[in-house]
Amino acid sequence: MKMHEPAHSAQSLQQSRPQPGVAVDGRRPRVVIVGAGFAGLTVATRLAKARVDITLIDRENHHLFQPLLYQVATAGLSPADIAWPIRGLVRHQRNTRVLLGAVTGIDRVRKRVVMGGRNVAYDILVLATGATHGYFGNDSWAVHAPGLKAIDDATEIRRRLLLAFERAEMESDARERQRLLTIVIVGGGPTGVEMAGAVVELAHSALADDFRAIDPTQTRVLLVEAGPRLLPSFPESLSCHAERALRRLGVDVRLGQAVTRCAATGVTLGDENVAADTMIWAAGVAASPAAEWLAVAGDRVGRVLVGVDLRPPGMDDVFVIGDTALANDVVGKPLPGIAPVAKQQGAYVAEVIQARLTGKVKPPPFRYRDRGLLATVGRKSAVIAFRRLRLKGWLAWWIWGIAHVYFLISLRNRLIVMMQWLWSYASFERGARLITGLHPIKAEHEPEHEPEPEPEPEPEPEPEAETEAETTRTRRRDNDAASPPLAAPSPSTD
């Protein structure tokens, strides 16, 4: 094996093409991947046999199949059905270690990823940190209308949904009961559409016979979209089909209306106040602080602008992929934030790194191969757009289900999800109707910390005792008491 010339620093990885398996400064190149979602995990697994040392960092210990997260929020699936421990997924990759923690910054000069008080050195950095909820400058709404990006979000929404029915069962006031049975979903994209269909079916089917004082079929579900139509990334014909399907299910679809206020008691749509107990946010996203870490300008939601090689301008050792990146297709249109885009970007970055390590020709610019757009609308309908193909209805729903089962990571989860769906389809049951988290009654009606009891006022002494004590103090102070006070004990005669 031919050894390369001594490297002055880790920059030799950028300035030269090492021969296969050649280390940098006497060691193997260090690849640090931040984020174990679709994009980051794809990079890690594609480099399983590469002669590099991989560090995979994530704030969670699990990889999540996010497209089915709404089914956890509506009690259709359990969290373990769509999530897997990251360490278990890479346990056989001897070149990979996993770190659980949050990244707080990047030192590009020293080539370090900062995790609080810990620094992780890199030669190649891959940022795949995903996105979070975006409230268009109204971040205070988050406490009233949680978004749906993580398992904790899904279980919190599930808790709020199920708890609303429990509280309505015990409510005697008709107006308050109706408020408890009103659910507002903000955002008419795929998440909002799928959530609206699942929520209305949860109320009208799965819970229909479970209560005695209320009728869950009278639950009011509003889907609010500020734009002129649902599913704006889909062809208009499929958007119209999705709207009609939701209306047939009983969803109150509001188009061209924006939320102007969100509070604990409901939302405001223009001049209309809608009293509601449960609000769910599916209207916008915000990227991670990656642009801030790299000291580059981001777009309006914080995404990092990358070139055709998925690198920010002037950064040969940094890749940004997935929802964190603003990447354009061949006609200059931004790529959607969906799983197929993230996975293809991850595969491309792994190929670029492999080519750099082995001295092969650099791959051509990244080009997304369209895998289509899919969204389900309830239990018997879906819409699919794949190039020029347009599908809707029952057949599209089956294709949607097969595709999602196929992309689940493990055979165990594929079987479990398939059996859960078949059972739910046949019986209208939702097996994961668990209220978890804080004690529901205490969480809704009591403060988080019980206030300390105020000290009880000392009882006022009897008037005679007070007068007697005052007399005693006065006589002692004047030092001329002629006789002991009345309450004083007599001198001992012993």
By mean pLDDT, which of 176-180, 375-379, 437-441, 449-453 is the weakest?
Answer: 449-453
Within 310-414, strands assigned E span 318-320, 325-326, 373-376, 382-386, 389-393
Is 194 designated active site?
Answer: yes
Cβ contact 102:79 at 8 Å: no
The rounded radius of gyration (Å) of the Cα atoms in the chain is: 31
Cβ contact 54:31 at 8 Å: yes
CB atoms within 10 A of CB 394: 11
Helix (H, G, I), strand (E, B) or coil at 474: helix
Instruction: Report d(CA 206, CA 165) in Å as an integer.
Output: 12
Joined tokens for residue 179 = 């408020």
With bands split at pLDDT 50, 70 and 90, how would you rate the model's confidence at 423? confident
Residues in the chain: 494
Q: Which residues of 237-255 are buried (b: 16+ CB within 10 A; e: fewer)?
A: ebbbbbbebbeebbbbbbe
Which of 193, 178, 198 has its CA nearest to residue 232? 193
Structure pTM? 0.82
With bands split at pLDDT 50, 70 and 90, how would you rate the model's confidence at 380? confident
Instruction: Report d(CA 273, CA 293) in Å as an integer.
Output: 41
Instruction: Report d(CA 465, CA 140) in Å as an integer.
Output: 59
Burial class (CB in 10 A: 0-12, 13-18, 19+), 306: buried
Instruction: Report d(CA 232, CA 40) in Å as an integer.
Output: 28
Cβ contact 332:28 at 8 Å: no
By mean pLDDT, which of 23-27, 134-138, 328-332 is the weakest?
Answer: 23-27
Instruction: Report d(CA 130, CA 161) in Å as an integer.
Output: 26
Helix-, strand-, coil-residue percentages of the chain, each rounded to 5: 35, 20, 45
Mean per-residue pLDDT, 368-382? 92
With bands split at pLDDT 50, 70 and 90, how would you rate the model's confidence at 410? confident
Q: Any idea what DSSP says for residue 21? A: T
pLDDT of residue 18: 45
Joined tokens for residue 313 = 């301008």
% of the chain beyond a pLDDT of 70: 82
Cβ contact 212:221 at 8 Å: no
pLDDT of residue 469: 44
Residue of 5, 171, 194, 201 marked active site:
194
Whether residue 28 has pLDDT greater than 70: yes
